[in-house]
């Protein structure tokens, strides 16, 4: 899109030779590196990166793609750089947002004051498929619902970051944040060491220690001694299985499947070679609906019968808590500015993307009228599925979406197409600007919020594309947050 802010060059155009004067201060080292590296060297590095990812097996499955059950997410070797000042603002905004998301969960499953105050329409919450009615009246250990949240941010100009989406259920992608850094250290040691000398790329590898500390901090009242934490995965066929095994390995905890676990006398146990071992905290990467066949989907083999009893008896903490989907629901999203004001008493630091709620007739009329310029999303869709990007849609696609909107307006929201910022990216024709987003990971434990300085940068590799989802051809980049001494 014309006029998009480029994080290296601002509004200057890309040329064959980078003009050092046009490069924003935070990108000086990267620009010098790019200027000194031959195209052949960059191409070699890119191939090496791909080999590295293949060797460690970091692949993901694409649902509904019969040709490729396992695919490599392309890695772009040009890092994205965020200054200390920019990060300070993001950190403050992310902390505020996650505090509000957690307070919203606690309130919705507790006193429901925000519904009485009219901050969010009552029926949108109480009738929302994401609301877990079994959790009404429940208070998790430490009052924490959203232990791990991934907030998808986009940048539209040097000063403006907007939240595109909250992910408060089982957000994934953090293993890419960690692996991308390792790959950068191996492939471009000269660049990384220069940056480290000059002021410091802040480390991200502390994430797994922080995650484990967060999980232990919310051990239930029934836990005795050092809390035992395990990671529950749906198994090998899940698209994020690599990440599950990676995180369990780094944290030094057991990676378990439903069949490895059982509940007896309201306590969760895992089978080990040394006999059953009590589990106090379960970091689950399995959706709510599959967690306990005695309460949720009876056909689920991924969960554990009696799990909810263990939780409600105060013997087990499940992270994230069951029912947090109500907070990141796309229909709730548009109410987030009001939710933040209500629970934090302050104006939102990070803006929401303006959103039309198609359930409201005036909004629907406007969306139908302006559809070619808008992005239309299904409230119960994810990963870029069930989504229409107006400017790139054919007349036929637009027509089909108009019919769907008229039939079920409450299932859709619409947003303007944003001029997402671009970052220099290595493509077949050389170095070119490509649109990016950012997913930082926010941890909330009994003692508050911690955010590792970094996140997953996703890049739309196709020229002009805004769709960064890995299931739709997006790639990733290493994301550098500079220390206060850095540029």
Partner 1 sequence: MRLLIDHRTVYRYERPAAGIVQILKLTPRSCDSQSVLAWRIDVSVEGVLKPFTDAHGNLAHVFYADGAVSELVLHVSGEVITTDTTGIVSGTPEPLPKAIYLRTTPLTEADAAIRTLAESCRDPDPVAEAHRLMLAVHERVAFDPDVTHPSTDAATAFRLGRGVCQDLAQILIAAARHLGRPARYVSGHYAPPDHPEQEAAHAWAELALPGLGWVAFDPTHGVCAGEAHVRVAVGLDSADAAPIRGARRGGGAETLQVSVHGRAVASDPPGVPPSVPSAEATQ
Chain residues that interact with partner 1, rule: CB under 8 A? 112, 122-123, 126-127, 131, 133-137, 262-266, 293-295, 298, 305-306, 309, 312-313
User: Based on CB atoms, which residue is closest to partner 1, 171 or 325?
Assistant: 325
Residue 127 CB, nearest approach to partner 1 (Å): 5
| 183, 74 contact by CB (below 8 A) | no
* 80 or 309: CB nearest partner 1: 309
Burial zone of 346 (CB within 10 Å; 0-12 exposed, 13-18 middle, 19+ buried) = exposed
Please state, in angstroms and as integers, the Cα–Cα distance from residue 196 to each residue in 41, 230, 285, 419, following that order: 22, 35, 34, 32
Residue 19: partners with Cβ closer than 8 Å, 6 or more residues away: 12
- The dihedral built from the CA positions of residue 252, 170, 466 and 69, taken in this order, carries a sign that is positive
Closer residue to partner 1 (CB): 182 or 266: 266
CB of 411 to partner 1, least distance (A): 13
Q: Which CB atom, from 14 or from 138, has the smaller least distance to partner 1? A: 138
455: left (phi over 0), alpha (psi -120 to 50) or beta: left
Nearest approach in angstroms of CB 120 to partner 1 is 13
Least CB distance to partner 1 at residue 112 (A): 7
Identify whether the C-beta of residue 440 lies closer than 8 Å to the C-beta of residue 41: no
Helix (H, G, I), strand (E, B) or coil at 478: strand
Least separation, in Å, of the C-beta of 271 and partner 1? Answer: 11
Q: How far is the CB of 290 from partner 1 (least distance, A)?
A: 13
- Tokens found for residue 383: 């990963």
Q: Is the dihedral of CA 154, 157, 158, 163 positive or negative?
A: negative
Q: Could you give phi then psi for residue 354, rounded to 5 degrees?
A: -55, 135
> What is d(CA 333, CA 172) in angstroms, rounded to the nearest whole number?
19
Residue 152 or 329: which CB sits closer to partner 1?
329
Whole-angstrom Cα distance, residue 295 to residue 163? 34
Supply the minimum distance, in Å, between the C-beta of residue 288 and partner 1.
14
Name the residue nearer to partner 1 (CB basis): 205 or 260: 260
The distance of closest approach from Cβ of residue 128 to partner 1 in the complex, given in angstroms and rounded to an integer, is 9
Minimum CB separation of residue 225 from partner 1 in Å reads 23
CB 70 within 8 Å of CB 61: yes
- 210/313 with CB nearer partner 1: 313
Rounded to the nearest whole angstrom, what is the least distance from the CB of residue 313 to partner 1 in the complex?
Answer: 8
Please say which residue, 24 or 112, places its beta carbon nearer to partner 1.
112
CB-based contact 288:295 (threshold 8 Å): no
Instruction: For residue 19, give Cα distances in angstroms to 128, 157, 421, 424.
Output: 53, 21, 20, 14
Q: Between residues 298 and 345, which has the closer beta carbon with respect to partner 1?
A: 298
| 3-state SS class at 435 | strand
- As measured in angstroms, the least distance from the Cβ of 131 to partner 1 is 8
Q: Which is nearer to partner 1, 293 or 453 (CB)?
A: 293
Secondary structure class of 255 (helix, strand, coil): strand
Between 331 and 371, CB nearer to partner 1: 331
386 phi and psi angles, rounded to 5 deg: 65, 35
| Alpha helix ranges (H) inside 285-437 | 307-312, 325-328, 330-333, 336-344, 361-370, 395-407
Identify the CA nearest to 131 among candidates 123, 143, 141, 139: 123
């Amino acid at each position: 899109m014309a006029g998009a802010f480029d994080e290296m060059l601002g509004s200057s155009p890309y040329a064959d030779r980078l003009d050092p004067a046009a490069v924003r201060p935070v990108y000086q080292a990267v620009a010098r590196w790019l200027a000194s590296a031959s195209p052949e060297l960059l191409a070699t590095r890119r191939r090496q990166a791909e080999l590295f990812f293949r060797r460690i097996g970091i692949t993901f499955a694409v649902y509904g793609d019969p040709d490729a059950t396992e695919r490599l997410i392309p890695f772009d070797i040009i890092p994205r750089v965020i200054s200390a000042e920019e990060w300070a603002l993001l950190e403050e905004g992310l902390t505020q947002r996650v505090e509000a998301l957690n307070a919203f969960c606690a309130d919705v499953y507790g006193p429901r004051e925000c519904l009485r105050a009219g901050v969010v329409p009552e029926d949108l919450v109480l009738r929302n498929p994401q609301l877990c009615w079994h959790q009404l009246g429940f208070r998790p250990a430490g009052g924490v619902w959203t232990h791990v949240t991934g907030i998808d941010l986009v940048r539209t100009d040097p000063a403006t970051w907007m939240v595109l989406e909250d992910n408060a259920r089982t957000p994934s992608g953090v293993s890419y944040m960690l692996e991308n850094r390792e790959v950068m250290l191996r492939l471009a040691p000269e660049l990384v060491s220069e940056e480290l000398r000059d002021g410091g790329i802040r480390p991200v590898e502390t994430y797994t220690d922080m995650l484990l500390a967060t999980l232990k901090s919310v051990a239930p009242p029934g836990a005795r001694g050092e809390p035992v934490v395990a990671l529950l995965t749906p198994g090998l066929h899940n698209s994020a299985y690599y990440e599950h095994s990676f995180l369990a390995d780094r944290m030094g905890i057991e990676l378990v499947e439903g069949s490895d676990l059982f509940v007896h006398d309201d306590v969760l146990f895992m089978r080990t070679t040394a006999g059953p071992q009590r589990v106090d905290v379960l970091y689950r990467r399995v959706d709510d609906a599959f967690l306990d066949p005695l309460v949720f989907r009876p056909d689920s083999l991924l969960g554990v019968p009696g799990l909810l009893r263990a939780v409600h008896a105060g013997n087990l903490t499940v992270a994230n808590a069951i029912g947090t989907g109500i907070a990141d629901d796309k229909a709730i999203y548009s109410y987030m500015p009001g939710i933040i004001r209500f629970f934090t008493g302050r104006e939102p630091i990070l803006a929401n993307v303006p959103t039309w709620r198609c359930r409201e007739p005036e909004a629907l009329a406007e969306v139908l009228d302006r559809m070619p310029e808008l992005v239309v999303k299904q409230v119960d869709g994810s990963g870029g599925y069930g989504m229409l990007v107006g400017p790139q849609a054919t007349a036929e696609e637009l027509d089909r979406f108009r019919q769907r909107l008229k039939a079920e307006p409450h299932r859709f929201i619409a947003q303007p197409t944003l001029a997402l910022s671009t970052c220099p990216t290595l493509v077949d024709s050389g170095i070119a600007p490509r649109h990016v987003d950012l997913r930082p990971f926010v941890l909330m434990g009994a003692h508050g919020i911690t955010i590792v300085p970094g996140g997953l940068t996703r890049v739309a590799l196709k020229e002009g594309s805004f769709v960064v989802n890995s299931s739709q051809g997006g790639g990733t980049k290493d994301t550098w947050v500079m220390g206060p001494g850095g540029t």
